[in-house]
Amino acid sequence: MKKVKKQLAKALLAALLGSSLCMMAACGSTNESESAEAVKTSEISEDEGAPTAKEETKDTDKTKGAEKMKTAETTEPTVTPKPTATPKPTATPEPTETPEPTEAAEAAETQESTDSPDAGQASETDPDAGQESETDPSAEQVFETDPSAEQASEADQSAEQAAEADSSAGQPAEDNEQGADLPAEQAIGMDPNWEFAGYSVINSGTATLYRASGNRKGIVVGVNAGHGTSGGGSVYTQCHPDGSPKVTGGTTEAGATQAMAVSSGMTFYDGTPERDVNLQVAQIFKDLLLANGYDVLMIRNSEDVQLDNVARTVMCNNCANCHIAIHYDGDGLDFDKGCFYMSVADGVKGMYPVSEIWTEDNRLGDCLISGLQTAGCPIMSGGNIQQDLTQTSYSKIPSVDVELGNAASDHSDAAVQQRATGLLYGVNQFFGQ
């Protein structure tokens, strides 16, 4: 019986101790010193409840059993108050006290902003961020290869090239098909790079290119009002590009290799200088051509232009589709012998560039005489005279010197208008208009 009681007491104490320990562990409120005191107390209680060898009587056993039970009862309140004293679970500032995590976060942020190579180089050396606006290939490609920008840049360049071509070298006849983009009036200077330009000695002047305002044909007619270059009679040009002598006579004798750059022309019997009447006819002719859709390269548009005969021809070669020089003949006759043109002399038909164009030269002359005849102008018998001229010797386009009469011819406003109209008819015939 004593053995049973002893075992029962031990079991009870163990259970109480286990319960206390569990509560202490769960609440986290019992420190190590309290746990040690509880263990010490439980050990003392166990020793006090243990039987000795001398106490072997039944009453003594009962007394010891009762004392053991009493000790257990007194031990139980000693262990359990600890869990009820739960200021520590209530006072849980330790988890809520987060200055350390905050300081750590700030330290981490500081470290990221100052030490991290990714963050520190983001605004300075990060190729994706710092060089985006400077070296981003896609950005460069958008700027360099945008089709709309290329088309706009190509369009601007084409316009500039067209303008430069008109003013220096180009072929206005081809450019004229573009129409409205080109100016209605434009000065044309001598380009030293043009073929035969080096044979000219007076070339500081400019011609004027006029463009029709409507029904444009894309054809430029070179209109050359003969003479009208001050100082032209005192300097000379080579008669032929190859240096060969003239084969016919005229203002310059046959056999000569040099001719006056521009002669002064004859004077009508009423004292009117030929150059003035030539200009009057040319200006009316220009207006008629523009009204009919032709563009006009006006070689001389005033009393004087500093362009010799070679320069005039070279400019027409490069800026017109044909070249018509307007003159009246200084033959000395006292009667009007009528209109005619200077056809290409047989002796120069094999010479370059005459050999490549002389048939068209003569066809243009024939068309002009036909037009003048249609307009009612008097026509010289045969309509042409062979002549070796500087103009046709340097021409690479259809070119003709047309003589609208002589010093005895009527040069009134009506007569001048009639001749200009006849020339328009001839141009229409030549170009099939």
Three-point CA angle 235, 406, 411, nearest 5°: 105
Q: Is the pLDDT of residue 46 over 60?
A: no
- Phi, psi (rounded to 5 degrees) for 292: -100, 15
What does the chain come to in residues?
433
pLDDT in tens, 287-312: 999 999 999 999 999 999 999 999 99
- CA-CA distance, 333 to 310, in Å (whole number)? 29
pLDDT at 182: 82
| Burial state string for 115-145 with b = 16 or more CB within 10 A and e = fewer than 16 | eeeeeeeeeeeeeeeeeeeeeeeeeeeeeee
358 neighbors 406 (Cβ within 8 angstroms): no
- pLDDT given for residue 86 in this prediction: 43
Angle of helix 274-291 versus helix 413-430 axis, rounded to 10: 50
What distance in Å separates the CA atoms of residue 336 and residue 112, rounded to the nearest whole number? Answer: 107
Task: Quickly state the pLDDT bin for 375 (edges 50, 70, 90).
Answer: very high
pLDDT at 114: 42
Other residues' Cβ atoms within 10 Å of the Cβ of residue 155: 11
Q: Which residues lie across from 208 on neighbouring strands?
A: 187, 298
Give percent of the chain above pLDDT 90: 57
Nearest to 342 by CA among 320, 319, 326: 326
pLDDT of 64 strictly over 50: no
User: Is there a contact between 224 and 205 (Cβ–Cβ < 8 Å)?
Assistant: no
| pTM value surpassing 0.85 | no
Query: Which residue would you say has higher pLDDT here, 23 or 58?
Result: 23
Of 230, 222, 225, 329, nearest in space to 277 by CA: 225
Mean pLDDT highest for which of 105-109, 133-137, 162-166, 251-255?
A: 251-255
